[in-house]
Amino acid sequence: MGRLQEIVYRYDVLPSTNDRARELAEAGAPEGTTVMAWQQTAGRGRQGRRWYSPPGAGLYHSIILRPPLPPVEAPLLGLVAAVALAETIREDYHLPADIKWPNDILVLGRKIAGILLELEADADRVRFVILGIGVNLNQTNFPADLGQPATSLRLETGQIQEADLFRTRLFARLDQWYTLLLGMGRTPILTRYSDLSSYVYGRTVQVEVPEGAIVGQTCGLTRSGALRLRTRSGEIEEIVTGDVKHLRVVAEDDNATSSSESQRP
């Protein structure tokens, strides 16, 4: 057993495993403490969205981490989880998992897993991070109002999936990549993420940021995992947080227009 999952709290129903993990972290729970639920009644996604969490159909986990990192490097932990998820789905389930920056896991343009990273920090050090991971395992349909196409491991493989097996496979990789990040620094995880994600280089995307929308071509990651975008004026913008939409460029000239998001790259 590695750093993670040494202490596990299992619940039948919780509003959100992230909220329970935060309470435990505030009370001093050690690194690696993991909260799991069979069902969430108020599962949360990024950007204030909800996370569809029906009983027994998905994995709903939150892990308490206490990494010796400055707050600016905390996004690297989301990259760790994204890489662990993408590797598990590719290598153990033989599906073409992609990572949409920052950490949506897609199979053929449909979302199969997501990560919600919540940070509690002082000015110069992380106090704790709650790493929330949701995986669609055995759902066979999804509500129409999720805002993006979704899929599950069962829909993609045609087979009912065992939660414990997925969890064991995922946690082995989480442990490995987290230990590597702390021991070797950021280069291995940035490199692996860039290999696994079709969004890191050469994609024309639109990113919604608080100031508006930025359109540009992706050109790599910064040292802390932000997305670099080359805009039409040639400037490089660094996107720290936001929602990325892939645009299909219709014409490559000054009047180039971009069609709406293609969810199936």
* Residues of the shown chain interacting with ligand BTN in the complex, contacts defined by CB under 6 A: 16-18, 40, 43-46, 49, 51, 60-62, 104, 114-116, 132-134
Nearest position to ligand BTN, beta carbon: 114
- Using DSSP's 3-state secondary structure scheme, residue 48 falls into helix
Q: How far is CA 202 from CA 14, 15, 161, 214, 217, in A?
A: 41, 39, 35, 15, 6
Closest distance of CB 71 from ligand BTN, Å = 20
- Using DSSP's 3-state secondary structure scheme, residue 25 falls into helix
Residue in 130, 114, 142 with CA at minimum distance from that of residue 57: 142
φ, ψ (nearest 5 deg) of residue 94: 55, 40
Q: Which is nearer to ligand BTN, 168 or 191 (CB)?
A: 168
Q: Which is nearer to ligand BTN, 133 or 226 (CB)?
A: 133
Q: Which is nearer to ligand BTN, 18 or 138 (CB)?
A: 18
Closest distance of CB 113 from ligand BTN, Å = 8
Q: Which is nearer to ligand BTN, 41 or 257 (CB)?
A: 41
φ, ψ (nearest 5 deg) of residue 91: -80, -35
For the chain, how many residues are written? 265
Residue 29 has what DSSP assignment? P
Q: Is 141 exposed, middle or buried (0-12, 13-18, 19+ CB in 10 A)?
A: exposed
Closest distance of CB 86 from ligand BTN, Å = 14
Q: How far apart are CA 7 and CA 178, in angstroms?
A: 17
Q: Which is nearer to ligand BTN, 57 or 190 (CB)?
A: 57
Closest distance of CB 132 from ligand BTN, Å = 3
Q: Which is nearer to ligand BTN, 18 or 151 (CB)?
A: 18
Closest distance of CB 18 from ligand BTN, Å = 4
Closest distance of CB 131 from ligand BTN, Å = 9
Q: Which is nearer to ligand BTN, 85 or 229 (CB)?
A: 85
Closest distance of CB 235 from ligand BTN, Å = 29
φ, ψ (nearest 5 deg) of residue 104: -95, 135
Q: Are 58 and 135 in contact (CB under 8 A)?
A: yes
Q: Are 6 and 31 in contact (CB under 8 A)?
A: no
